[in-house]
Chains A and B, each alone.
Chain A
Amino acid sequence: MAPVQRHRRRWLVPAAHLQRRQIGLMIVFAGLILALIAGSLYVQVFDPEGYRDRTGQDRIDLPASRGEIADRNGTPMALSQPAVNIVADPATVATNGGTWEQMSLGARLRAKAGPGIIAGIVSAFLGGDFNDYYAGLTRVTNADGEPNRYALLYPQVMDYYEQQVDEAIDRLGYVGIASQSSPLRTYPNGSTAANVVGYLTTSEELVAQGKYPMVGAEGVEQSFNTQLAGVDGYGKFEVSGYGRIPTGDNVVVEPVEGQSYQLTIDLPLQLMQDQLLAQAVADNQARGGMAITMAVETGEVLAMSVNPVFDSNNLTPTPVEDQGNRAIRYSYEPGSVQKLLTVAAVIDQGLADQGTHLEVPGHLNAGGAIISDAFSHGTMRMTTAGVIGRSSNIGAVLLARQSSKSALIDYMHSFGLGAATGVGLPREELGLVPDANMTDQERDMMAFGQGISVTAIQEAAAVNAIANGGVYIQPTIVKAATNAAGQEVDMPTAQTHRVVSEETSTQVLNMMESVVALNPGSLDIPGYRTAAKSGTAQAAGPNGAGYNGTGSGWVMSYLGVAPAEDPQILTYVVIDYPQATTTGTAAAAPVAESVLSLALSRYGVPPSTTPSSNLPVDW
């Protein structure tokens, strides 16, 4: 039998060939294993530090956006815009990113020219002094001899201009310049309501962190700084020499954006009040002034003006003492406006009424001091309305003497004097209210507004309580707050409490109309019943100089409410140390009257349909 022939498939590899392939494959695998061993040796033996240095955590800051501030109409008062700080790494600039020893002569010459060229670019695009930039760029080492890695070249430039600077430097092939986010806080209205909005300031620590400037230092920016600022977030990533490790311990904490605030301020009204106050201060050659307009029923501050003004965008030209808010921080003796509170307290205790008959002498002995009125007179027969209408100091003292001292002081505290109003602005001055153990003379002086000190917001809020039917309502500057999602944030409601009865309130308002009635054609607002009171207070000089000593002067004020039968708007104006006038009516009344007119018109308050109270002032 013939042997069976098996035919091998030709593609099958002969044994010898198979051995060669196996050997080749083994060589390949051996090569791979050797490469792995070599890599491991390099990492663990030859360059452990380098590998270690290339690993670690990469952290990025995720700054929260600061909330905006707007007026009651939604007009922006403070907002943040994207901006960056242009910063330099002078040590890198010095070598243009290279290693000096390994650089060619050409590269070294090029690096030498770097600071000058970069300074020139920054100066050309952004302005400023070339030498300042150059000095910052060439400060290669710190005081401790370490390389200087940080120099702030230009703070808070809008990114549009930073991009141009960056492109120009890139085009010329220079390195070492970077940017860091530093949102620009802007105040589009400049000085209008700057005392209310406030401003931000900085600190050395924040600058070192590149957070500049981010802390509220005045106004709403300060009182709600934490809420406006939000909470910064961050991202933390584990990195190796090849970038982030996908499975590493990576954490991202999103920032909590700041809340935005809508104020009660009405910017157009504020602007007009600012203008009128500024003119009055100038006309009276005064040291300054304050004006507050409030919505009577809500306690909302519609306008709060001070003079001198400052611009939140640029504080440099303004003296430090004028960079605050006098309306809440400057305490003074209120003068005759205080008589309204005295009379209200007396009437509310049932000790007098608007028609009470008083015999008012020309002079009155008050604990050894002689009290007189601003106008000379013999004994006059005045009603309580006449005391208010004629602003009689002596009449006010006679009425105050009807009350116990403790009751008077209780009323003053109930009117909000001697305590912060909580209007929503920082660092309110408390003023000074005598205690119940005051002397007779102190009581007498307090009756007509001396020996007691108030801030403008305190006095406005106190009289507002009378205008508001006897109910004190905490003044407020903040209307609403919203979070980043646009949801309204709960705000504390304004505190209210009754100070005097509604009947007392009505009587005092009626008597305030007498002030206007006694000055026909000058204080009235056409179409509206207006209640008002002027104040002319001596201001003592510093360091106990007294009312007639060096530095003494006058504080003129005027408060108007309209319409008297249903008060809607209250305006209080204070002119500080005027040189050209001697009465509150002359100095402050024109401002108050004009602002009231504008406000009544602006808010569509219907004109009065009832006649003025026209109370008898004499008997």
Chain B
Amino acid sequence: MSALERFEIAQSTPSASPAVVAPVAVKTHHWAALPLLIIGLMALGMVGHLWLATQIQVQGRQIVNLEATMDSLTAENNILTAQITIIDTPSQLAQRAVSLGMVPEPQTSLLVVPTGQILGVDQAVTGSEMPIITAASAIGNGLTWPSLATADTGGANTSGDTSVASQLTDTTTPQV
């Protein structure tokens, strides 16, 4: 029922007391409430944005730093891998083996397990069987040091020193 209907009913009903019209109480807001709300939300958003942006920047910087560290470690890993590859080559192993007193074993004798029979000439190795190999290995066998470098193909660098081996051994880098 609307206020007007309620008023008309009241008029048509006999009453001892005069009709009193009471305004319906309506809750109102201050005119600035909405703009303030919007401004508040915007301020909150801006603060949030600022916080997020700051966090992104901080974490972005951390990512950049970590990526730089990863690049550096990857590069270092590449160097170390190259060193291991060189050290693991047969020529390097042969040199180390000779330096440890090992000698080639050119004489085979096999033990046949089921029968215990020995096939071949069973004799001790003296180290003089392959003097060429022993001597060659001890001095690097006359082979070129595995420099891991590529042929110089010119460019501004004409020194020809593209050897990675030189890069590997030159671990002291001057400060500029």
Chain A positions within 8 Å of B, measured between CB atoms, are 2, 4-5, 7, 9-11, 13, 75-76, 79, 81-82, 88, 120-121, 124-129, 132-133, 135-137, 151-161, 163-164, 168, 172, 184-192, 199-202, 207, 212-213, 267-268, 270-272, 274-276, 278-279, 309, 311, 313-316, 526-527, 594, 597-598, 600-601, 604-607, 609
Contact = CB atoms under 8 A, between A and B. Distances in A.
Interface of B: 4, 7, 21, 23, 26, 28-31, 33, 71-72, 74-76, 78-79, 81-82, 85-86, 88-91, 94, 104-110, 119-121, 130, 132-133, 136-137, 141-164, 166-167, 170, 173-174, 176
Nearest to A9: B28
Contact of B108 (A125, A605, A609): A605
Given A160-B75, A279-B132, A594-B106, A153 B151 contact: no
Contact of A155 (B23, B162, B174): B162
B120 A607 contact: yes
Contacts of B155: 136, 151-155, 207
Nearest to A217: B151
Contacts of B81: 81
Given A278-B136, A316-B151, 14 more contacts: A9-B26, A13-B31, A82-B74, A129-B159, A153-B156, A156-B150, A157-B162, A158-B78, A160-B78, A188-B148, A313-B163, A527-B119, A604-B108, A607-B108
A187 B146 contact: yes
A20 B28 CA distance: 22
Contacts of A4: 4, 7
Given A132-B157, A527-B107, A163 B85 contact: no
5 contacts: A11-B33, A13-B31, A128-B161, A155-B157, A159-B71
Contact of A11 (B29, B82, B145, B161): B29
A124 B90 contact: no
Contacts of A600: 108
A127 B159 contact: yes
A381 B157 CA distance: 71
A121 B174 CA distance: 9
A159 B75 contact: yes
B90 A133 contact: no
Contact of A314 (B28, B88, B132, B144): B144
Contact of A606 (B76, B89, B110, B133): B110
A135 B157 CA distance: 10
Contacts, number: 241
A275 B88 contact: no
Contacts of A597: 106-107
Contacts of B85: 76, 79, 186, 188
Given A125-B174, A597-B106, A275 B147 contact: no
A156 B29 CA distance: 74
Given A121-B176, A192-B90, A271-B91, A313 B28 contact: no
B152 A316 contact: yes
Nearest to B170: A127
A607 B111 CA distance: 11
B145 to A, nearest CB: 6
A157 B143 contact: no
B153 A212 contact: yes
Contacts of A598: 104, 106, 130
A127 B149 CA distance: 14
Contacts of A184: 148, 150, 164
Contact of A191 (B30, B133, B144, B159): B144
A263 to B, nearest CB: 14
Contacts of B174: 124-125
B132 A313 contact: no
B8 to A, nearest CB: 10
A314 B151 contact: yes
Contacts of A606: 110, 119-120
Contacts of B119: 527, 606-607, 609
Contact of A190 (B31, B120, B145): B145
Given A11-B30, A597-B107, A192 B130 contact: no
Nearest to B143: A191
A137 B157 CA distance: 11
B136 A279 contact: yes
Contact of B148 (A186, A271, A526): A186
In the complex, the 10 A-B pairs of residues with the closest C-beta atoms, listed nearest first = A136-B156, A160-B75, A152-B155, A607-B120, A190-B146, A597-B106, A311-B144, A186-B148, A128-B159, A527-B120
B74 to A, nearest CB: 8
Nearest to A317: B144
Contact of B79 (A132, A160, A202): A160
A313 B143 contact: no
Contact of B132 (A10, A163, A276, A605): A276
B23 A7 contact: yes
